[in-house]
Amino acid sequence: MNIDQRLEAPPQEKLGLDAGTRVEIWMRLAKVLEGYLAELPQARVAPEVDLEKIRSLLAPLDFTHPHDPLDAVDFVVRNLWDYQVHTPHPRYFGLFNPAPTTMGIVADTLVAIFNPQLASSNHSPFAIEVEQHLIRSFARQFGYDAADADGTFTSGGAEANHTALLTGLVHKFPEFARNGMRGLDRQPTLYVSNQTHHSFIKAACACGLGSEAVRQVPVDGALQMNVEALAEQIARDQAAGFAPYLVVATAGATNAGVIDPIARIAEVADRERLWLHTDAAWGGAVALVPELRHLLKGIERSDSITFDAHKWLSVPMGAGLYLTRRPSILEQVFHIKTDYMPFSVSGANVADPYAHSLQWSRRFIGLKVFLSLLVAGWEGFAAVIKHQATMGELLRQALEASQWKVVNQTELPVVCFVDRRPPEPESDAIIDAVARKIVSSGEAWISTTRLGEGLLVLRACITNYRTDSKDIETLVRALDRARDEFYRRA
């Protein structure tokens, strides 16, 4: 390449592109966004999966020569349209994956533009103050004393739960931060129920505790942790020379939306001097609704709380929150000194995030929560959550009216159900066939799960703030048709 050519195409434009192209791309993105919203309700929720096709599309792209940027954008848009389960679809009745708020999309775009560095308070004082402000605001919603509360934004609930296991360990065994497990003369144990999220098992491995340290406490008929069984298991472990240190209460289990009796678990935690962690990743959102807040009674007694704004608050992934009423514990766990990190802003009484959480370089996670809340207000979120709870109730009624049997009891919009008619041995087969039929029809997306040790059930969760009564009707009609088809074939 000669010098003239190089001047014509300066290297920085390879990455930054020229102003004209950039404007074209922004216009294209606006079209993509509005097109997605307008066309999605008529589109299939889930694609027909063809992995070979996807691989054959990618194989020729060996990055040896540059592609036109608009072509590249179109390529990705087309394939995201064709090859993903559309979680923002109003008839996605699935896991806790919402349709993102518009202000959340705006926020993630702004974050990519300004790229604030949230390791050091020196670099991003505005972003850090926004997150601190949010941490105090959410702490108050959960009944903490905001002046004494602390917390950190995380990639999601799994990181927040991992943080809980670590803070609990250092609280109970201050030397753990220096010496790790080798410094302890007894094996620490922690207590979950069989409805608790599996991220605690991973976290136990990552903390060096090992998965065996996680004790699964039985649940009662309503799938809530059996508090007597918890106390008995703790006593057995103490007698056997273990060191019980933490108990997890779940507020809104993934399976059936169950909320553990937090206040009663708190009594046991107090008595046994255990760290109480409440995993309210999804269900914590009901704290924003005066009529539903009572479901979380006792959550304010938790030493720490996991809350995921990317679940029921509908911001784009990932936006987790770890909150604690022990204001110095995060620093005790994550405090570190380096020569290369910049000095803190003078007068700041805020810990540098890198010395306050598992992450180091970190994106401005809080902005999507901040902008969404600023525009909708607590009241806007409360209205959405109430609407979704109403849609859940509507679904329960429509199912019962159509010879389905709802098998979980909750005010939250997650509905587990089975066919009212079949004899037990056939139940698994029909549930599986119906779920597959619904997903492959593209009309809706639902899943199956097993409750406790019990039968397979269908599970439908209202996760989308746009889901309305017509979507519920469409789902129930599709379920009825799929069941009829099963019987015709049988």
Ligand X SMILES: *Cc1c(COP(=O)(O)O)cnc(C)c1O
> Site residues (CB under 6 A) for ligand X?
96, 156-158, 161, 197, 199, 250, 252, 254, 279, 281-282, 308, 318, 320
Q: How far is the CB of 284 from ligand X (least distance, A)?
A: 9
Q: How far is the CB of 260 from ligand X (least distance, A)?
A: 11
3-state secondary structure the chain: CCHHHHHHCCHHHHHHCCHHHHHHHHHHHHHHHHHHHHHHHHCCCCCCCCHHHHHHHHCCCCCCCCCCHHHHHHHHHHHHHHCCCCCCCCCECCCCCCCCCHHHHHHHHHHHHHCCCCCCCCCCHHHHHHHHHHHHHHHHHCCCCCCCCEEEEECCHHHHHHHHHHHHHHHHCCCHHHHHHHHCCCCEEEEEECCCCCHHHHHHHHCCCCHHHEEEECECCCCCECHHHHHHHHHHHHHCCCEEEEEEEEECCCCCCCECCHHHHHHHHHHHCCEEEEECCCHHHHHHCCCCHHHHCCHHHCCEEEEECCCCCCCCCCCEEEEECCCCHHHHHHCCCCCCCCCCCCCCCCCCHHHCCCCCCCCCCHHHHHHHHHHHHHHHHHHHHHHHHHHHHHHHHHHHHCCEEECCCCCCCEEEEEECCCCHHHHHHHHHHHHHHHHHHCCCECEEEECCCCCEEEEEECCCCCCCHHHHHHHHHHHHHHHHHHHHHC
Q: How far apart are CA 90 and CA 474, in angstroms?
A: 11
Q: How far is the CB of 447 from ligand X (least distance, A)?
A: 14
The 10 Å CB-count burial string (b at 16+, else e) for 317-327 is bbbbbbbbbbe
Q: Are 90 and 444 in contact (CB under 8 A)?
A: no
Closer CB to ligand X, 171 or 277, in the complex: 277
Closer CB to ligand X, 197 or 363, in the complex: 197
Closer CB to ligand X, 127 or 253, in the complex: 253
Q: How far is the CB of 160 from ligand X (least distance, A)?
A: 7
Closer CB to ligand X, 40 or 412, in the complex: 412
Closer CB to ligand X, 266 or 281, in the complex: 281
Closer CB to ligand X, 144 or 322, in the complex: 322
Q: How far is the CB of 154 from ligand X (least distance, A)?
A: 8
Q: How far is the CB of 383 from ligand X (least distance, A)?
A: 22
Closer CB to ligand X, 197 or 325, in the complex: 197
Closer CB to ligand X, 161 or 357, in the complex: 161
Closer CB to ligand X, 237 or 279, in the complex: 279
Q: How far is the CB of 282 from ligand X (least distance, A)?
A: 4
Closer CB to ligand X, 161 or 464, in the complex: 161
Closer CB to ligand X, 284 or 398, in the complex: 284
Q: How far is the CB of 157 from ligand X (least distance, A)?
A: 2
Asked if the bond preceding 298 is cis, omega within 30° of 0, the reply is no
Q: How far is the CB of 255 from ligand X (least distance, A)?
A: 10
Q: How far is the CB of 199 from ligand X (least distance, A)?
A: 5
* Beta carbons within 10 angstroms of residue 264's beta carbon: 18
Q: How far is the CB of 198 from ligand X (least distance, A)?
A: 8
